[in-house]
Amino acid sequence: MSDAGDKKIRVRQIKSGIGFSENQKRTLRALGLTKIGREVVHPDNPQVRGMVQTVTHLVEVTEDAQA
């Protein structure tokens, strides 16, 4: 099995989407983030990384160590 499929990233919302574009608000919602302080875990793949890049100023990303 490949290690790339096992990697996860933890995304935490640190700032509100209010005052930002509708696209950024929809991206937060698609990531599963609805309130400041909420955390979600997603697979580390290009699609999720692209979504995170869109709202990088609103979220904090940490890599989960999978054993």
Flag whether 43 is in a domain.
yes
Flag whether 45 is in a domain.
yes
51 CB-near residues (< 8 Å, 6+ apart): 27, 30, 31
Nearest by Cα to 65 from 44, 48, 49: 44
Count the alpha carbons within 13 Å of 34 in the hemisphere toward its beta carbon. 1
Flag whether 3 is in a domain.
no
CATH number at residue 54: 3.30.1390.20
Flag whether 2 is in a domain.
no
Range of the domain at 21: 8-64
Chain segment 10-61, per-residue pLDDT in tens: 999 999 999 999 999 999 999 999 999 999 999 999 999 999 999 999 999 9
Task: Tell me the β-bridge partners of 43.
Answer: 8
Flag whether 56 is in a domain.
yes
Flag whether 46 is in a domain.
yes
Number of independent structural domains in the chain: 1
pLDDT exceeds 60 at position 3:
no
